[in-house]
């Protein structure tokens, strides 16, 4: 299987972090180009030109980044692929996932344990809490991490120049908390999130969720979706016993403060349409394509 970008020396060596982020920027531009033109099956030369790299560089970039060729990645962005992700989606949520290894889609999934902050903590907006934060390179652009002593509380992504805006968006979840920049302290969390060798059931990643009861129930449901599968908003609504609340579910998915770990990118429209994503449709496509590579899409 592939080695995640976090293993790339450009991510593990601080002086080369900008090179890793440039890689994602090239991937982002390639995805945007493919997304607009996949029906015409654009040539690799055309995609490479849009991404600002040579065809050979594009091939190696995608193989390193997602363990996929550009052509296979193009397949992963089609509506047919999205519909396949949704197959039997309702039953996915009913499956017993005991140890998290009940099917091939779970073999490379995050092992997460979570808790919800109390209604009182949510109501006071984090007053009295100290939250540490840091900015780190990741396979999906700059990752903004917020953590408490109890675990990961926020994960967002930003393109170059948008870091402050993304951080401000996360801070709105806990407007009354005290924030301390501590990239050294949050670095191990990033390592846990993006290094598949550290996805271990005996050492789960602890996540703290803060939101309304309805939002937390939606986010807990998202945590049950295996990698390589997806569910519709209506399936989630049914699972939490609110079958007419698809729109409210969509809104709660959009307010998920722990992107990627709580896999809101695996929630799709009933037709397979990707619909909205708080951190950008292109990034949602990147995550789904990357996961296809993890599971060996040919």
- The residues annotated as belonging to the active site are 264
What is the Cα–Cα distance from 53 to 55, expressed in whole angstroms? 7
What is the Cα–Cα distance from 193 to 196, expressed in whole angstroms? 8
Query: HEC states along 189-215?
Result: HHHHHHCHHHCCCCCCEEEEECCCHHH
Phi, psi of 143, rounded to the nearest 5 degrees: -95, 130
Residues 6+ apart with CB under 8 A from 112: 204, 205, 206, 207, 223, 261, 262
Question: How deeply is 97 buried, as exposed, middle or buried, from its count of CB atoms within 10 A (0-12, 13-18, 19+)?
Answer: middle
**Phi-psi bin for 187: left (phi > 0), alpha (psi -120 to 50), beta?**
alpha
Alpha-carbon radius of gyration of the chain: 19
CA distances from 280 to 108, 159, 161 (A): 24, 10, 15
What is the Cα–Cα distance from 37 to 204, expressed in whole angstroms? 40
**Token pair for 250:** 């969509």
Q: How many residues does the chain have?
A: 298
Cβ contact 277:269 at 8 Å:
no
What is the Cα–Cα distance from 285 to 35, expressed in whole angstroms? 9
């Amino acid at each position: 299987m592939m080695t995640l970008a976090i293993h790339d020396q450009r991510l593990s060596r601080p002086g080369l972090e900008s090179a890793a982020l440039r890689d994602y920027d090239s991937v982002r531009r390639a995805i945007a180009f493919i997304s607009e033109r996949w029906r015409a099956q654009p040539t690799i030369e055309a995609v490479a030109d849009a991404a600002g790299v040579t065809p050979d560089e594009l091939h190696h970039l995608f193989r390193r980044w997602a363990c996929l060729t550009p052509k296979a990645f193009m397949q992963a962005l089609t509506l047919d692929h999205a519909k396949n992700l949704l197959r039997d989606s309702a039953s996915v949520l009913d499956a017993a996932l005991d140890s998290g290894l009940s099917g091939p889609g779970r073999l490379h999934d995050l092992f997460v344990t979570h808790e919800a902050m109390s209604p009182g903590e949510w109501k006071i907006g984090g007053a009295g809490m100290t939250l540490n934060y840091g900015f780190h390179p990741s396979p999906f652009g700059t990752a903004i991490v917020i953590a408490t002593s109890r675990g990961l509380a926020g994960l967002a992504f930003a393109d170059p120049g948008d870091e402050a805006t993304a951080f401000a968006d996360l801070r709105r979840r806990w407007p009354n908390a005290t924030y301390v920049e501590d990239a050294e302290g949050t670095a191990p969390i990033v390592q846990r999130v993006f290094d598949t060798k550290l996805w271990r059931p005996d050492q789960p990643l602890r996540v703290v969720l803060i939101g309304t009861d309805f939002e937390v129930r939606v986010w807990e449901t998202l945590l049950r979706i295996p990698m390589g599968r997806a569910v519709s908003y209506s399936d989630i609504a049914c699972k939490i016993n609110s079958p007419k609340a698809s729109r409210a579910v969509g809104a709660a998915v959009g307010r998920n403060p722990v992107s990627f770990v709580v896999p809101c990118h695996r929630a799709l429209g009933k037709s397979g349409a990707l619909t909205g994503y708080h951190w950008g449709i292109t990034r949602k496509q990147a995550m789904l394509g990357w996961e296809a590579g993890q599971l060996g899409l040919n």
